[in-house]
């Protein structure tokens, strides 16, 4: 009998939603080895006054923020370390939208990515009960205990798998179609296949997975990635997991020539706010996310968005920042880049130089992806 292929969960948005990110803290319980947030500290925390001023500006300027929907995103560090601030801010957002008769009142989400350690705490659970229908919460877990604990560690070096996995059943009960985020670095490539299958085994059906954007890749890593993904493809197909599970490494949309000139990243269309109330094109441009460059603020909650500073980010596209080999690449679709990483790693102080560290890794993914779809379509018919 022909079986349907599971589709990724629908990402909420009425149209293209505006994403506004509050960096509520620069602290985290963990010191993940691959994390690009290099300046973690317990000092820099957002105050309610900064959050309130930011909400007032954003909701009060429809000419600057005309989108029909909005995602209020809360990150750190670990956002749930500041659950009291988040709770107060979300209450204020709803009250503000209600008092203004703002269309976002019926078209918004509060979004979180968390390490899961505090997920079961009383304060977090009270917040979830209060805001459940408006919430999107992703818990980050990297796979098997071995893979997870290679990088997702406490300052002492102790792994965090047990403290995260404890809360997975509760999370899945409350958000059954939620997706987890898995990060892959060079040294844990050999554990991809078993890690994805492990996450399926503990009940997570939708897995968003990516390799790090930094220049960490060694000769031969692409071959390991391909071998792991081909093995994963075999298991997913042979065990018919494709009927109700997804993995973002496999997609029907990747591995073709680009026919558009769009920017991959949404930097500039998003807005990130740090503890001082400064605005940035996205959270990857905030001061504690950059190693080599000065953070390019595009305004603040006191004076608003500076459109002249924002304009260069809105002009970014494929051609303005990519070398010719990327523009002409026959398998370019799905090849990702991070605008903040491009800026941080560029040879000069520019946002128009694309980092190409992932070229071999992307091509290995495309070959594996082609194998997956060829085998699956031969089995069930395209």
pLDDT of residue 352: 96
In the chain, where are the structural domains located? Answer: 18-261+363-380
Identify the DSSP state of 215.
Answer: S
pLDDT at 14: 43
Spatial separation of the C-alpha atoms in residues 77 and 243, rounded to whole Å: 35
Average pLDDT, the chain: 95
**Mean pLDDT along residues 184-193:** 98
Mean pLDDT of 166-182: 96
Which residues are within 8 A (CB) of 152 and not within 5 positions of it... i.e. 6 or more apart? 30, 32, 115, 140, 142, 159, 160, 161, 164
Write the pLDDT tens digit of every residue in 10-38: 444 545 799 999 999 999 999 999 998 88
Query: Across residues 363-368, what is the average pLDDT?
Result: 98
pLDDT tens-digit readout, 285-319: 999 999 999 999 999 999 999 999 999 999 999 99
Q: What distance in Å separates the CA atoms of residue 66 and residue 87, rounded to the nearest whole number?
A: 25
**pLDDT digit string (tens) for 190-233?**
999 999 999 999 999 999 999 999 999 999 999 999 999 999 99
Kindly report, residue by residue over 40-68, the tens digit of the pLDDT.
999 999 999 999 999 999 999 999 999 99
| Torsion of Cα atoms, 297 then 33 then 73 then 335, to 10° | 80
- pLDDT at residue 1 above 80? no
Predicted confidence band of residue 39 (pLDDT cuts 50, 70, 90) = confident
Task: Compute φ and ψ for 189, nearest 5 degrees.
Answer: -55, -40
Per-residue pLDDT at 7 = 54
368 band by pLDDT with thresholds 50, 70 and 90:
very high
Q: CATH code for 18-261+363-380?
A: 3.20.20.70
% of the chain surpassing 90 pLDDT:
93
pLDDT of the residue at 9: 52
Classified as helix, coil or strand, 189 is helix
Rounded CA gap, 149 and 64, in Å?
43
The per-residue pLDDT for 5 is 60
Distance of alpha carbon 63 from alpha carbon 287, whole angstroms: 28
Q: What is the mean pLDDT of residues 254-274?
A: 96
What pLDDT score was predicted for residue 38? 82
Q: Give me the pLDDT at residue 12, please.
A: 45
Which pLDDT belongs to residue 117? Answer: 98
């Amino acid at each position: 009998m022909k079986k349907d292929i599971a589709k990724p969960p629908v990402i909420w948005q009425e149209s293209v939603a505006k994403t506004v990110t509050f960096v509520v803290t620069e602290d985290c319980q963990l010191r993940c080895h691959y994390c690009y947030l290099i300046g973690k500290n317990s000092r820099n925390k957002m105050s309610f006054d900064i959050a309130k001023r930011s909400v007032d500006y954003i909701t009060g300027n429809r000419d600057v923020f005309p989108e029909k929907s909005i995602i209020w995103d809360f990150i750190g560090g670990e956002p749930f370390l500041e659950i009291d601030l988040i709770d107060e801010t979300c209450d204020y957002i709803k009250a503000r939208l209600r008092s203004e008769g703002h269309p976002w009142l019926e078209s918004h989400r509060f979004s979180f990515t968390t390490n899961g350690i505090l997920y079961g705490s009383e304060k977090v659970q009270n917040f979830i009960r209060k805001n459940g229908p408006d919430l999107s919460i992703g818990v980050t877990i990297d796979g098997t205990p071995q893979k997870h604990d290679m990088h997702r560690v406490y300052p002492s070096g102790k792994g965090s798998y047990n403290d995260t996995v404890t809360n997975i059943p509760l999370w899945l009960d409350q958000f059954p179609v939620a997706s987890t985020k898995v990060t892959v670095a060079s040294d844990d490539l050999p554990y991809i296949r078993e890690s994805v299958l492990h996450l399926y085994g503990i009940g997570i059906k939708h897995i968003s997975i990516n390799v790090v954007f930094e220049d960490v890749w060694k000769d031969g890593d692409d071959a390991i990635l391909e071998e792991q993904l081909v093995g994963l493809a075999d298991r997913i197909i042979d065990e018919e997991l494709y009927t109700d599970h997804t993995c973002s490494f496999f997609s029907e949309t990747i591995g073709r020539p680009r026919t558009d000139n769009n920017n991959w990243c949404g930097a500039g269309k998003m807005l990130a706010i740090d503890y001082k109330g400064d605005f940035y094109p996205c959270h990857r441009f905030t001061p504690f996310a950059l190693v080599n460059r000065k953070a390019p603020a595009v305004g603040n909650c006191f004076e608003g968005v500076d459109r002249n500073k924002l304009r260069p980010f809105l002009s970014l596209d494929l051609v303005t920042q990519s070398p010719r080999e990327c523009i002409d690449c026959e398998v370019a679709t799905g090849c990702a880049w991070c605008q903040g990483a491009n800026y941080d790693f560029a040879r000069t102080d520019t946002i128009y130089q694309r980092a190409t560290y992932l070229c071999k890794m992307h091509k290995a993914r495309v070959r594996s992806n082609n194998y997956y779809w060829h085998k699956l379509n031969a089995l069930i018919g395209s």
